[in-house]
Each structure stands twice: as C-alpha cells, then as structure tokens.
Structure 1
C-alpha cells in the first residue's frame, strides 16, 4: 500500500484523533480512507445525476402537459415503493 503524508491544522488533527479515539476507526489512515470512499461515492452520484440532466436537456421540450408529467412521476414513485 502506498503512503501519503499530509499536514493538518491542529483543530483538524484533533478531530481525526477524536474519531479514532471514539473506536469507530482503528487509526487515522482508516478514517481518511473512509472519507475518500465517501467522496468517491458522492462524486459518482453527482456524475450520474449530471448525465441524467444532460440527457433531459438534449431530449428537448416535452409535448406533455405538466399534469401528465406529475401523474407519470407519481405512478413511478408508487411503483418504486413496492420494490
């Protein structure tokens, strides 16, 4: 495993130490790896949402009424509740 050294201001260092002292993480490296995994997941979700937004813009204006769009969205939401 590769090693990276980082410098933190004292308040951040204290925070990392409090996270490891709480027992949630065994050490600072584990805490930082967890932060990176969460950031990677967040970045992936944002990219997926941006892709959907881009596809929506590229599809052009809809000829459906706002009422039809809401009705379809409600149907999809109700169908997803059963999954």
Structure 2
C-alpha cells in the first residue's frame, strides 16, 4: 500500500476526526478510503447512465416487460 500525505485546514481535520470517532472508523485513512471508493462508484454509475442515455432506444419497459422477465426466471428455475 502506498502512502499519501494530505494537508487539511483545521476545520476539515476536525470534521474528519469527528467522522472517524462517530462512525466507527479506526483511522482517518479508512474514512478517506471509503470516500474515495464511494466517489469511484458514483463516477462508474454516472458513466453507465450516460452510456444508457446515448444508446439506441428499445421497446418500452413496462409491466408486460417485467412479467415476461418473471416468466423466464420461473421457467429457468424449472
């Protein structure tokens, strides 16, 4: 694992320390790693949503569509 030093203003350092103590993190590094992972997840979701928005239109997703999915799942399970 690599190390990274981050400079924070006192107010942000206090905020991080409070989050660590109140939310059950063992270190400030653990808290920051979780924030970075969440940001990665959000960026990935955004990319998926944008790709979906740019893709070609398909048939509408409605109640019939979900019923056909349920039927396929039940059929596959036997």
Pick the TM interval, shorter chain: 0.7 to 0.9
Segments of 5+ residues of structure 2 without an aligned counterpart are 74-78
Q: 1:41 to 1:76 in 2, by over 3 A?
A: farther
CA distance in 1, matches of 2:20, 2:42: 23
Q: Which residue of 1 aligns with 2:39?
A: 39
Q: 1:44 to 1:6 in 2, by over 3 A?
A: same
TM-score, length-scaled by structure 1: 0.68
Segments of 5+ residues of structure 1 without an aligned counterpart are 63-68
Aligned residues: 69
Q: How large is the RMSD of aligned CA atoms in angstroms?
A: 2.6
Q: Which structure 1 residue ranges, 4+ long, deviate > 2 Å from structure 2?
A: none
